[in-house]
Structure 1
Amino acid sequence: MNKINYTSQFKEVLNLCKQNKLFLGLGNPNAKILIIGKEAAIDKEKNPRHYEMEVENNVKDWEHNFDNSKQLDEVLSWFAETSEQKYNPLYPYKGQKHTLLRKKKVDGNEINNGGTSKTWYNYQKIADKLFNNNVKSSIINFQEHMFISELNQESAKYSHLIAKEKREQSIAKRKQLFETNYFREFPITIVAVGHYVRDFNVNLEELFGVVYSHELSAVNSKGLKNEFINIHFDSIEKPARLLIHTNQLSMVSNELVNKIGEVCSIFIKEKI
């Protein structure tokens, strides 16, 4: 595993999150790829511990990681029988199987197969395309290669259960986060939020300092049904950064996920 270098830029963005009570994210803070999703799919009422662990404690946990230079290989497996389950945003649910989560009741107790959500399953497919020669990994390890954040930090099991006004306020408040140098310097950014960009007046070009490519967006979206890949670069003539705006990745076709991986793969080979 690559060594994590906790930079001064990361410290600055961490301080910003602490001062403004903003969710920062999860995964490798040195990653070349940033994925921004809609919001965490957590029911705060039914799963308060889950929400506290993943969202409320996020900044505090990152402060601990920063102060102790926490490394990926130091995070214990979530599934190891001999270890205490301790969530860490650097490598959450380490050891999770690369299969879709299934739950069932046995003798009144809920058990699961150690799998993951459809969103994380698709994040892993992209990671496998880029970092594992397109071979399916047996476990979820995209956290080693990507950093994940959310456009909105209001949380519910489904997006429509969050009041539009709350989403709007949260997204507006979080824009200051994505304007920082830290978030603007990822070579590849995937904004997988669907029509949140339109619905909540998010100007990706201004926010991330990129320019929309009509031609490449049309080429890469061709043949997709009710799905899209919008391509942006920091410079059309000499691009050093790629930004993809696309559908939220929980309920999308394999074709879309594969095309996103292909676009990123080509850019990595040419630019990174």
Structure 2
Amino acid sequence: MENKLLEELLKKIPENQYIGLGNPNSKILFIGKEAGAEIETEMFHGSAKSWKEKEFNYSEKYVPEETKIRNLNHTWQRYQKLYDCILSNLEIEFEKKDKYEISFVENIFTTELSNLHAPNTTDAKKQEKFTEELKSRKDIFFKSNFIKQFPIVVIFASDNKYIETYQGEVCELFNVKFDKLHNENAKDKIWIHSETENDKNPRLVIHTRQLTNSISVDLIPNICELIVEFIKEHSIK
């Protein structure tokens, strides 16, 4: 799938740098903490090398065979639940041939804050170059024109070791201003940032917790509502 800004980025970064999965021409970007894999393993899928070789179509829907993904509590299944909610609220009809089908990759791009994969956050933060690699990635990858093209960004990482909340790093990194906390009394916080003064390039950045483990029942519906409102208000196609 061609994307000029992605092609430009691929010329500048190492082949082992993680780019992401999904549709690079989409309007929505999901950002997690790190890819879930054993530290010793080499990550090919989603890497700059894989995008250069263009052997795989990462925006094609599929039915996962892995047991861990065939679990509705898995991060990708919760991404899917959010995507289904967005489509429903926009009154876009869709069908599934399997209840575990992953189709959000058709219209959403996903990436990770950290380039260092790990099976869990605890192990990720113990890696020797965790802080150094994270800083470098923010400067090179997250400030790239490729990332700037997405009008809707959702950051699923409320750990300050990865990115500071609301009035801190998010504003500087994504060139937005902090608007408000969605619901101060909510168990799972949602910090809302935006750039709407530029009519040609409005932007919504939502910052919240990971979608793993135990999340409140209203977290996904609330994120969905914010995204749909922004899409409708700014006629984003």
TM-score by length of 2: 0.81
- What are the Cα deviations for residues 160-196 of structure 1, in whole angstroms up to 9, with x where unaligned? 1121653211210111211111101211000111123
Return the offset for 1:212.
Answer: 0.5
Q: Which runs of 5+ in 2 are unaligned?
A: none
Matched length = 222
Moved over 4 A (4+): 113-117, 132-137, 236-239
Instruction: Confirm whether residue 27 of structure 1 aligns to residue 22 of structure 2.
Output: yes
Larger Rg: 1
What's the CA shift for 1:26? 0.7
- Structure 2 SS opposite 1:155: coil
Note if 1:233 corresponds to 2:194: yes
| Counterpart amino acid of residue 234 in structure 1 | E
Q: Does the 8 Å CA contact 1:211/1:235 hold for their aligned counterparts? A: no
Contact 1:129 1:265 in 2 (8 A): no
Instruction: Tell me the TM-score normalised to structure 1 length.
Output: 0.72
CA RMSD of aligned residues (A): 2.9
Post-superposition shift, 1:32?
A: 0.6
Find the residue that maps to 2:12 and give its secondary structure: helix
Question: Of 5, 11, 18, which residue of structure 2 is paired with 1:9?
Answer: 5
1:158 paired residue number: 120
Return closer, same or farther for 1:13/1:116 CA change in 2, 3 Å cut-off.
Answer: farther
Instruction: Kindly provide the amino acid, as one letter, of the partner of residue 25 in structure 2.
Output: N
Partner residue of 1:174?
Answer: 137
Any unmatched runs of 5+ in structure 1?
A: 71-87, 104-112
Within a 5 Å distance, the mapping from 1:85-104 to structure 2 comes to: 88=56, 90-91=58-59, 94-96=62-64, 102=67
The CA distance in 2 between the partners of 1:144 and 1:246, in whole Å, is 23
* Contact 2:192/2:207 (8 A) holds in 1: yes
Alignment of structure 1 residues 66-215 onto 2, 5 Å? 88=56, 90-91=58-59, 94-96=62-64, 102=67, 114-115=70-71, 118-133=74-89, 137=96, 138=99, 139-162=101-124, 163=126, 165-175=128-138, 176-195=140-159, 196-198=162-164, 203-214=169-180
State the distance in 1 between where 2:170 and 2:17 align.
Answer: 19
Output the CA distance in 1 between the equivalents of 2:43 and 2:173: 29
Instruction: Work out the percentage of aligned pairs sharing the same amino acid.
Output: 31
**Quick check: which one's helix share is greater?**
1
Which amino acid is 1:154 matched to?
L
Matching residue of 1:265: 228
Q: Per-residue CA shift, 1:43-84, capped at 9, x if unaligned?
A: 134xx3xx43436xx22221122xxxx7xxxxxxxxxxxxxx
- Tell me how far 1:207 sits from its aligned partner: 1.1
Q: Counterpart amino acid of 1:96?
A: P
Q: Deviations over 1:126-167 (max 9, x none)?
A: 110112458785311110011011101212211111216532
